[in-house]
C-alpha cells in the first residue's frame, strides 16, 4: 500500500531523474531491513563457500608439503590445477 502511494506520488511529477531516484532509495544499513530473506540466505551460502574453499586450500597445500613431502612449488602447482578445475 505504501509503495503504491509512493508510485502515485511520482507519476504526476514527470520523468524520473537520477537525482529523484536517489532521493527515493534508502541507503545505509537500515536498507537491509527491507531486503528479502532469500538475500541473506544467498550471502550466507556464499560466505560458507568461500570459507570452505580457502580453508581447504590452506589445508591442502600444507598437507601436500608437510605430510607427502612435496616441495612448495609442486604443492602450489597441484593447488593451481585444483583451483582451475573449481573455476571451470
Considering only CA atoms, give the Rg of the chain. Answer: 24
Mean pLDDT value of segment 68-81: 92
What pLDDT shows up at residue 52? 93
Mean of the per-residue pLDDT values of the chain: 82
Are 64 and 75 in contact by the 8 Å Cβ rule? The answer is yes
**3-class secondary-structure state, position 58:** helix
What is the reported pTM?
A: 0.53
Q: Give me the residue label for grid cell 532469500.
A: 38
Q: pLDDT tens digits for 59-70?
A: 998 999 999 999
Q: pLDDT tens digits for 37-61?
A: 888 899 999 999 999 998 998 899 8
Percentage of residues in the chain having pLDDT higher than 90:
38
Amino acid at each position: 500500500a505504501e509503495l503504491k502511494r509512493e508510485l502515485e506520488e511520482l507519476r504526476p511529477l514527470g520523468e524520473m531523474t537520477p537525482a529523484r531516484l536517489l532521493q527515493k532509495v534508502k541507503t545505509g544499513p537500515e536498507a537491509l531491513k527491507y531486503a528479502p530473506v532469500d538475500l541473506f540466505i544467498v550471502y550466507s551460502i556464499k560466505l560458507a563457500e568461500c570459507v570452505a574453499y580457502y580453508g581447504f586450500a590452506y589445508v591442502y597445500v600444507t598437507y601436500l608439503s608437510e605430510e607427502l613431502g612435496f616441495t612448495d612449488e609442486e604443492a602450489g602447482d597441484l593447488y593451481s590445477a585444483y583451483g582451475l578445475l573449481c573455476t571451470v
